[in-house]
């Protein structure tokens, strides 16, 4: 039986492992941390449950398709609920509520800007077409050739690859709050909306058209489901096994070394951060130079806080965005002039608002995220300074005092991303999807220098986010299966 070694146990690695085990290969996962899940691990403390990384469950169709490939359904493993409202956005002088249907969202848009719902419906219809093309035609290609992007549908939409989502949105909407609301979804792709092609408006369809969902028990339920599926399929999982080296013999990857032991494989796939994965090779086998990595645009890093509150919050929903300071200034301080933000925007997540299993009775589980430039200095003092800033703003905008209700708080920032995931410059969610970093222009799924060596995950194709990571695992498994075909 052919042996496949998979490095890492994030969504992409688990996905690849499941497909390859289903195909009949002997698959072993080697994960450096003591639990699986990568950036999507879980923190449980004093009865509070926190998702350490992802918290937005978008594109439910992609999860359904993944499990359907194994004749399963998501409901075989976890219970999904569509959130209503999907989320709230706090501005300086108003709060927007995004409901769970287009009708509700249109009503809210009309309240802010008369006549905007007509434009919104048109915009979302176009976004839906883009979604269907992106999901059914583009992202399922491995990014090996520019020709993959040339389809009759993309040729007809070529202008959308050269205009930014910001330009598109500003053509139809004038109110800055609506503009920020429509620019928010592409932040998941890791770049400024002014640098993201308007074709990516398919993220707006994911947002308003498909909705925001919550797996009961939190996002870690998906990881548990995939771990169970992998084990059912015969995958062996070694946690607490950092890979120290990828061995190459005669131009072919042959084995890995972990904790001083050597494990042979016919194929090696790394789902660890791409830059780090290449450092496991001797220099002559690395495809990309340090300058290459340094010149890329990364998705932001983040300063995160996991807070146990001993009371229920008022005025908040499960997902809350605090866009009460300048979106443009904060983006500039992430991408153009990397520095700690002068007036940070932030995101606050209270999963216990809709799921009582996430916190002890009468308490609230709070997760706060400030996006920041990768590679910034990270000290305990800076973390505390920014916690104070956002908690003050949170109290002001929601009209309640919460500081005296904090039972504990944990934080996570650049140094933790580096130390826990070997993340390049402490990026939180990989390499941004700009035009120059799309499809075949991203770091490749297949090594160009070492035979039998492959890569998967948010730094390669198709890009950042949980659904793309599931797809990345599938794409790399298809290449591997082709390679090992008799
Ligand atoms: C704070 C945050 C919020 C996010 N929010 C969302 C969201 O709401 N919705 C969404 O869809 N996406 C979100 N994302 C993005 C999403 O979580 C990621 O895109 C996805 O989890 C990446 O999966 P991956 O498999 O590429 O990598 P990872 O999850 O990083 O997995 C890589 C694994 O490799 C392991 N590893 C590294 N080096 C070695 C080594 N030498 N040996 C063995 N193992 C090694 C790491 O420990 C890790 O487990 C968020 C990410 C973060 C960080």
Q: Is the pLDDT of residue 352 over 80?
A: yes
Query: Residue 154's pLDDT is what?
Result: 82
Choosing from 6, 10, 279, 415 the residue with most ligand 1 atoms within 8 A of its CB, the one to mutate for a pocket test is 10
Query: Residue 439's pLDDT is what?
Result: 87
- The torsion defined by the Cα of 155, 157, 162 and 167, in degrees rounded to 10, comes to 180
As a three-state string, the secondary structure of 392-442 is HHHHHHHCCCCHHHEEEEEEECHHHHHHHHCCHHHCCCCECCCHHHCHHHC
Burial class (CB in 10 A: 0-12, 13-18, 19+), 342: exposed
Confidence of residue 138 (pLDDT cuts 50, 70, 90): confident
Query: Residue 183's pLDDT is what?
Result: 95
Confidence of residue 143 (pLDDT cuts 50, 70, 90): confident
Atom of ligand 1 nearest to the CA of 11: 25
Distance 10 CA to ligand 1 centre (A): 5
- Could you give phi then psi for residue 27, rounded to 5 degrees? -110, 130
Atom of ligand 1 nearest to the CA of 430: 19
Atom of ligand 1 nearest to the CA of 304: 1
Could you identify the residue written with the tokens 């890093």? 301
Atom of ligand 1 nearest to the CA of 38: 49
Q: Is the pLDDT of residue 149 over 80?
A: no
Mean pLDDT of the chain: 96
Protein residue with least CA distance to atom 17, ligand 1: 54
Query: Residue 145's pLDDT is what?
Result: 82
Distance 38 CA to ligand 1 centre (A): 5
Residues 321 and 314: their CA atoms lie apart, in Å, by: 15
Query: Residue 158's pLDDT is what?
Result: 83
Instruction: Count the helices and strands in the chain (H runs, E runs).
Output: 16, 19
Query: Residue 148's pLDDT is what?
Result: 80
Protein residue with least CA distance to atom 1, ligand 1: 53
Backbone conformation region of residue 135, classed left if phi is above 0, alpha if psi is from -120 to 50, else beta: alpha
- 22-36, 416-430, 431-445: segment of lowest average pLDDT: 431-445
Q: Give the count of alpha carbons within 13 A of 252, CB side only.
A: 8
Choosing from 187, 429, 474 the residue with most ligand 1 atoms within 8 A of its CB, the one to mutate for a pocket test is 429
First-to-last alpha carbon distance for the chain, in angstroms, is: 12
Q: Give the count of alpha carbons within 13 A of 453, CB side only.
A: 26
Q: What is the mean pLDDT of residues 404-429?
A: 98
- 112-116, 187-191, 317-321: segment of lowest average pLDDT: 187-191
The answer to whether the pTM exceeds 0.85 is yes
Protein residue with least CA distance to atom 26, ligand 1: 457
Choosing from 39, 185, 230, 320 the residue with most ligand 1 atoms within 8 A of its CB, the one to mutate for a pocket test is 39
* Ranges assigned E (strand) in 118-240: 213-215, 236-238
Residue of 478, 380, 268, 37 whose CA lies nearest to 258: 268
Share of the chain above pLDDT 70, in %: 100
Protein residue with least CA distance to atom 14, ligand 1: 54
Q: What is the CA radius of gyration of the chain?
A: 22
Q: What is the mean pLDDT of residues 91-119?
A: 98
Q: Which amino acids bring their CB within 6 angstroms of ligand 1?
A: 7-13, 30-33, 38-40, 53-56, 242-243, 271-272, 276, 302, 304, 369, 421-422, 428-430, 457-458, 464-466, 469
Confidence of residue 30 (pLDDT cuts 50, 70, 90): very high
Tens-digit pLDDT profile for residues 156-177: 888 888 899 999 999 999 999 9
Tens-digit pLDDT profile for residues 269-283: 999 999 999 999 999
Alpha carbon distances (Å) from 387 to 92, 211, 392: 19, 30, 8
* Ranges assigned E (strand) in 149-249: 213-215, 236-238, 243-249
Choosing from 14, 29, 54, 319 the residue with most ligand 1 atoms within 8 A of its CB, the one to mutate for a pocket test is 54
Distance 458 CA to ligand 1 centre (A): 7
Query: Residue 156's pLDDT is what?
Result: 81
Residues 256 and 266: their CA atoms lie apart, in Å, by: 11
Q: What is the largest CA-CA distance in the chain?
A: 68
Tokens of 317: 């929903």
Q: Is the pLDDT of residue 144 over 90?
A: no
Tens-digit pLDDT profile for residues 360-392: 999 999 999 999 999 999 999 999 999 999 999
Distance 11 CA to ligand 1 centre (A): 7
């Amino acid at each position: 039986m052919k042996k496949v070694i998979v490095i890492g146990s994030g969504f992409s690695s688990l996905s690849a492992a499941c497909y390859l085990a289903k195909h009949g290969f002997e698959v072993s996962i080697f994960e450096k941390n003591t639990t699986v899940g990568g950036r999507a691990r879980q923190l449980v403390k004093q009865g509070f449950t926190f998702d350490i990384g992802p918290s937005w469950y978008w594109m439910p169709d992609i999860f359904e398709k993944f499990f359907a490939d194994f004749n399963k359904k998501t409901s075989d493993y976890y219970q999904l609920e569509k959130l209503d409202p999907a989320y709230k956005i706090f501005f300086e002088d108003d709060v927007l509520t995004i409901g769970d249907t287009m009708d509700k969202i249109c009503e809210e848009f009309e309240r802010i800007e008369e006549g905007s719902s007509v434009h919104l419906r048109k915009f979302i219809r176009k976004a839906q077409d883009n979604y269907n093309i992106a999901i059914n035609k583009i992202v399922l290609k491995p990014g090996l050739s520019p020709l993959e992007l040339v389809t009759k549908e993309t040729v007809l939409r070529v202008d959308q690859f050269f205009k930014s989502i910001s330009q598109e949105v500003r053509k139809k909407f004038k109110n800055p709050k609506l503009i920020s609301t429509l620019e928010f979804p592409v932040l998941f792709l890791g770049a400024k909306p002014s640098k993201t092609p308007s074709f990516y408006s398919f993220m707006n369809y994911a947002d308003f058209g498909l909705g925001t969902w919550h797996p009961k028990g939190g996002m870690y339920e998906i990881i548990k489901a995939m771990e169970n599926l992998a084990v059912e399929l015969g995958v062996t999982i070694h946690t607490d096994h950092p890979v120290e080296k990828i061995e190459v013999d005669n131009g072919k990857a042959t084995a890995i070394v972990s904790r001083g032991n050597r494990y042979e494989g016919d194929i090696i796939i790394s789902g660890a951060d791409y830059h780090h994965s290449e450092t496991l090779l001797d220099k002559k086998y690395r495809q990309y130079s340090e300058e290459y990595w340094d010149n890329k645009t990364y998705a932001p890093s983040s300063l995160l806080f996991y807070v146990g509150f001993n009371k229920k919050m008022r005025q908040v929903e499960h997902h809350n965005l605090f866009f009460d300071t300048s979106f443009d200034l904060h983006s500039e301080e992430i991408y153009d002039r990397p520095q700690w933000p002068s007036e940070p925007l932030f995101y606050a997540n209270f999963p216990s608002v809709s799921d009582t299993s996430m916190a002890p009775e009468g308490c609230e589980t709070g997760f706060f995220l400030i996006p920041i430039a990768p590679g910034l200095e990270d000290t305990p003092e800076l973390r505390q300074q920014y916690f104070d800033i956002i908690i003050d703003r949170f109290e002001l905008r929601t009209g309640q005092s919460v500081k005296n209700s904090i039972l504990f708080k944990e934080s996570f920032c650049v140094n933790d991303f580096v130390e826990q995931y070997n993340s390049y410059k402490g990026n939180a969610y990989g390499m941004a999807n700009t035009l120059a970093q799309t499809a075949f222009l991203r770091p490749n799924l297949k090594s160009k220098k070492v035979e039998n060596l492959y890569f998967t995950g948010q730094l390669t194709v198709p890009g950042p986010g949980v659904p793309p990571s599931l797809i990345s695992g599938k794409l790399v498994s298809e290449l591997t299966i082709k390679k090992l075909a008799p």
